Amino acid sequence: MFKRYVAAAAGAIAMIASAASAATITGAGATFPAPVYAKWAEAYKAQTGTALNYQAIGSGGGIKQITASTVDFGATDKPLKPDDLATAGLVMFPTVIGGVVPVMNLPGVRAGQIKLTGAQLADIYRGVIKRWNDPLIAKTNAGVALPNLPITVVHRSDGSGTSFVFTSYLSMKAAHWASEVGANDSVKWPTGLGGKGNDGVAAMVKQTEGAIGYVEYAYAKQNSMTYALMQNKAGKFVTPQAANFRAAAANAKWSSAPGFYLLLLDQPGADAWPITAATFILVHAKQEDAAKGREVLSFFDWAYKNGDAAAASLDYVPLPADVKILIRASWKKVVGPDGKPVYH
């Protein structure tokens, strides 16, 4: 009997010892970047032995968990304002870029044939433009045979960073939208149907002639959906593709955005896709365990160096090199109990 206890105790000690040598970083939050974090984690563990345990519980959950310090980092699609970061004692930085793409189901209309402006999109989602052959849509689509179909608006029913980015864009481009609806991860939609997740929106769009919806870029691309060209700040109608998301990120003024609070909406540049957004990581500015803080930042440092190909293969857009330099510089703000930066 005694022998068995000794064996069990020895086993437990061995387990604790091995846990200490192979550390685990825990994170929780946004579902949108979860596939790329998982892919990075796999490669990182193979190289360094440090495991990442990421729970895709949604941005809201991610913010709550990092505020309560139950995880080492939180992840959110909806950036926190600099004031909120300061109050919560958090540091925020972006990891990858994605975009939101309007998709449609119009008989006889191919991907990229329809051109829309932000104001038109807002009027469609407000229920003001009700038919596809409305003169307001025809204005930017000379030469396209617009069908006489009622427009069915499809939006996300679940609270989502995608909706946040989309409604932020509409708020930016249309004063009516900003005052009547506003921007959030779930809003009071003036009209239309709600689909659960990207696939719910896509299914409803595919099943309804005359429907318009919005999905994440990766989803639109992988499912070859009929997308619209959007007018950007330079007045050009651009295609939703990786290079154009990168253009939006490259032209953005990151250096003048405190806490990287930046929505990459309607950025300057001839190629910039107007509905682009980054997804973010949150860590505590004051780390109780300096070694742990260093491990978290080392993981993202490694991801910035080695993770671009993996991100691109999953149709995320990696950050421009100069933004990565800015982010590394911002990590000086993450300090240990002794007040010294944990990462150098």
Binding residues vs other proteins (CB under 8 A): 31, 57-61, 63, 78, 152, 157-161, 181-189, 192-196, 200, 203-204, 207-208, 211
How many angstroms separate the CA atoms of 265 and 249, rounded?
Answer: 9
Q: Which is nearer to other proteins, 196 or 333 (CB)?
A: 196
Q: How far is the CB of 78 from other proteins (least distance, A)?
A: 7
Give me the phi and psi of 326, to 5 degrees please: -60, -40
Write down the residue that tokens 């107007």 correspond to: 274
How many CA atoms lie less than 13 Å away from 6 in the CB half-sphere? 3
Q: Which is nearer to other proteins, 261 or 302 (CB)?
A: 261
Q: Is 210 left (phi over 0), alpha (psi -120 to 50) or beta?
A: left
Q: Which is nearer to other proteins, 206 or 236 (CB)?
A: 206
Q: Which is nearer to other proteins, 111 or 193 (CB)?
A: 193
Q: How far is the CB of 167 from other proteins (least distance, A)?
A: 8
Q: Which is nearer to other proteins, 163 or 241 (CB)?
A: 163
- The strand ranges marked E within 82-183 are 90-105, 115-116, 152-156
Q: How far is the CB of 146 from other proteins (least distance, A)?
A: 19
Q: How far is the CB of 177 from other proteins (least distance, A)?
A: 11
Q: How far is the CB of 2 from other proteins (least distance, A)?
A: 26
Q: Would you say 276 and 118 are in contact if contact means Cβ atoms under 8 Å apart?
A: no
Give me the phi and psi of 167, to 5 degrees please: -70, -30
Q: In the numeric block, which tokens belong to residue 282?
A: 């949150």
How many angstroms separate the CA atoms of 329 and 341, rounded?
Answer: 11
